[in-house]
Structure 1
């Protein structure tokens, strides 16, 4: 039973009296913020429901899937907090859209995803600096120098995938990239520095790096009537892709709105805080609901949904190559994708071949769990870039997916997940539509895997594998450093 505490009771009465004596503005602020908070908690509960409510398209429940599902939802909450409590379109800075703490959307293990909010009706400048950029021009860096990320691309979309919480946002024309600029076109000074102007119109005579933030598109509707719509960029999305994890470093970046550089950011207000709180709940809820339905209905990861007798993401096979589009929930604009689902027993393996008749600027192969989170790529070799993997003499990459290490250099570790995503990416600044890359997959007994590989297939010792993992661990700490 609670014992009376005169000191505690006196303090309580004093605080209560102080609260009752608040001025009207303070009382209104308290009510506004509590309402926003309560709404956020309700939205977070709706996000949690997507873990196990069958009406919300969750993956099949297993102990590990449920545990990772809770982590997944918390990851979206983490990302929403980072996004909503930090930068604004008036005072932007780059934050990590995806990282190990909030992996999602079948993310690329080679990538760091950055975003900065903007209002495309205004002009902005990005200043940056990179290590050696020889790879951006198809060359090789001198020995011993620190290198820029292997491939970099800036995009200025008019919206954020999954924001609405509904697949209706996939309707063609719902959003566009107002501009794209990748490292093959980026003008860089000899010291690795660069500058990009982002604006709704290109200034007359401007010859530097430029990205348009307001654009019009004309589309023909199903009824044959043409419709012109104007789009305004809401964010800058940046992907930095790493292939040589031992020697490549992050870009240095600074973004600002040109008319507000040097101005102080306004102090927090109850109205601004309430909007931030509401956005955190809404973004978390809508992103979780959207991607659950996207994987189940669009990707058909758990079975045929459109009645054509097959699944867009086939089991132990890969689909036909397809180009990225904001109408298909985003993806890097220069990518060609190929993917499927692995489903393997302990004694089974999947032999996957990557064919590229035209050489891309980037190749990556990543595994993900059933929630679309990349598997742990720091402590397991759950991904391979084109530089990390061994390419056979016939220009084919042959990789083995299995639960146990077969001693093959090109092994992708499932980390014990019996099923999950396979995502293959090839990047082309100009897509060779008549000679697209492709992949094949074949399930075989793990004990017989070497029979399905060339005699010259590169093998690896346990000591060499441990060295590879050590490189990955160090790189991931450097890529996502907090110090």
Structure 2
């Protein structure tokens, strides 16, 4: 399998060279195309074949998929939707663009902006647990140098920084000068923005409806020029070449702590790149067949919290078909006030199960949002057949039929928030 993958990467430049002859590309596009292919091959080789954590073909296949997912995120954000003068929201993270510490409870809408313009986001709130608009200074094409500079957040039934009308409608202005009830101040030059919605009660919470427009935008939109394409592909090359460093820095934090705890370190990705008032878990697990890991903690006093299992490449596992995450609404708390979550490859028959799905090594994700405390979970590995000896009698049990019904309802509820596109 490895040789076939390497052969594909090696053959890729020759294919592009043949395309040059057929299409007789100009010198600038010839240079761009060659540089793009060189960058793809170089970074693909490093990620798929030079990562020492890849110890089997399953992980190698996931590494190749991870590489193509990030490549696709760069393509959509740099080439297909890089129009600050004509903005539109895109899905930069989804079940198919699964990268960058994805939250299985959420949706991520993204837009490129520029300080030369003013914008308005408008719509109706919906009732997802968390609604957040976060502005970043800098270009996502150079993520290591970008930083979050402001956000407006609303917790359904909790804390809020956003003013809504009685019917749930809202408008948020993005400008160099403050205007309106809700406003985020744009920096000079490039900027980008995420609109996050995170869900707690999947089956009842409804998604927001929202749009963005540039104030003063006129129609028809201008056609793209050849120089626009040059600029966009140069940004894509920069993205492919540079995005791995901040991601690798965050992933590496999962491997520096003791293996029997799930820490929530204060330093994230790079300074300034953290979601304000949120703490992120940096745990990992090693789990053989026939074993189970019991994660135990006092539930945090947070407006929102969750735990989930991820690949070594910061991708949440299959959250459309398997139970790989648990949040503060879904979790069952034992009678002694503690939360116990069982990580196992097969269903142990307890409600709080995280499905390792034959991944013997992986990462543990977690988020405490607007939390008053930061409880640190402990991890204990036991034999699966002896699991009941380590759990209280009050631990909630469920059958395989009940589990199947829960997962079917999860999928249908997630589809209401647009996970299929």
- Partner residue of 1:464? 402
Checking the alignment, whether the CA contact within 8 Å between 2:128 and 2:198 is kept in structure 1 is yes
Q: 1:352 to 1:342 in 2, by over 3 A?
A: same
CA contact (8 A) 1:316 1:441 kept: yes
Change (3 A) 1:31 1:58: farther
Counterpart in 2 of 1:15?
A: none
> What SS does the corresponding residue of 2:396 show, helix, strand or coil?
coil
Give the TM-score of the pair, scaled to structure 2.
0.86
Question: Larger Cα Rg: Structure 1 or Structure 2?
Answer: 1
CA contact 1:51–1:69 (8 Å) conserved in 2? yes
After the TM superposition, which residues 125-274 of structure 1 pair with which residues of structure 2 at under 5 Å, given as runs? 125-131=120-126, 148-159=127-138, 163=142, 169=144, 175-183=146-154, 184-203=160-179, 206=180, 208-214=181-187, 234-260=191-217, 262-274=218-230
Checking the alignment, whether the CA contact within 8 Å between 1:110 and 1:242 is kept in structure 2 is yes
* Structure 1 residues not aligned, in runs of 5+: 1-18, 21-25, 132-147, 215-230, 302-310
The number of equivalent residue pairs is 395
1:176, 1:326 within 8 Å by CA — same for their partners in 2?
no
Give 1:43's match in structure 2, choosing from 36, 39, 43: 39
Runs of 4+ in 1 over 6 A off after TM superposition: none
Which residue of 273, 276, 288 corresponds with 1:345? 288
Counterpart position of 1:411 = 353
Aligned residues of 2:265 and 2:279 also touching (Cα < 8 A): yes
Alignment pair present for 1:437 and 2:395: no
Distance 1:288 1:185 in 2: 33
SS in 2 for 1:370: coil
Change (3 A) 1:476 1:50: farther
1: distance between equivalents of 2:141 and 2:365? 19
Worse overlay, 34-43 or 472-481: 472-481
Q: CA deviation at 1:324?
A: 6.7
Cα deviation, residue 476, structure 1: 3.4
Kept in 2, the 8 Å contact 1:120–1:213? The answer is: yes
CA distance in 1, matches of 2:213, 2:297: 41
Q: Name the CA distance, whole Å, in 1 between partners of 2:216 and 2:201.
A: 39
Which digits, 9 at most, give the CA deviation of each residue in 1:445-468, with x for residues without a partner? 212222222211100011100001
After superposition, the Cα gap between the structure-2 partners of 1:468 and 1:272, relative to the gap in structure 1 and judged at 3 Å, is: same
Structure 1 stretch displaced more, 155-164 or 115-124: 155-164
Alignment partners' CA distance in 2, 1:295 and 1:450: 33
Distance in 2, matches of 1:104 and 1:380, equals: 18
**Residues 37, 278 of structure 1: 8 Å contact kept:** no
Cα deviation for residue 62 of structure 1 reads 1.0
Partner of 2:13: none
What TM-score, normalized by structure 1, do the two folds share?
Answer: 0.76
Q: Give the SS at the match of 1:330.
A: coil
Would you say the 8 A contact 2:287–2:344 is kept in 1? yes
Paired residue secondary structure (1:327): coil
SS of 2:91 mapped into structure 1 = strand
User: In structure 1, which of residues 336, 361, 366 is the aligned counterpart of residue 308 of structure 2?
Assistant: 366
Structure 2, unmatched stretches of 5+, are: 1-20, 155-159
Which position in structure 2 is the counterpart of 1:11?
none
Report the CA distance between 1:160 and its aligned residue. 5.6
3-state secondary structure, aligned to 2:414? helix
* Deviation per residue, 1:259-317 (Å, 9 max, x gap): 32x33322111111122223223312322354345534xx263xxxxxxxxx24x4343
Matched residue of 2:134: which SS? strand
User: Mapping of 1:30-179 within 5 angstroms?
Assistant: 30-54=26-50, 57=51, 59-84=53-78, 85-131=80-126, 148-159=127-138, 163=142, 169=144, 175-179=146-150
1:311-460 equivalence runs, <5 A: 311-312=256-257, 314-319=258-263, 321-323=264-266, 327-328=270-271, 330-356=273-299, 359-428=301-370, 431-432=371-372, 435-460=373-398
Alpha-carbon spacing, 1:329–1:472, altered in 2? closer, same or farther (3 Å): farther
Match of 1:278 in 2: 234
TM-fit CA distance, 1:114:
1.7
Q: Deviation string for 1:37-77 (max 9, x for gaps)?
A: 222111111221123443xx453231001111111111012
SS in 2 for 1:186: coil
1:126 is paired with a residue whose SS is strand
Please tell me whether the aligned partners of residues 356 and 438 of structure 1 are also in contact (alpha carbons under 8 angstroms). no
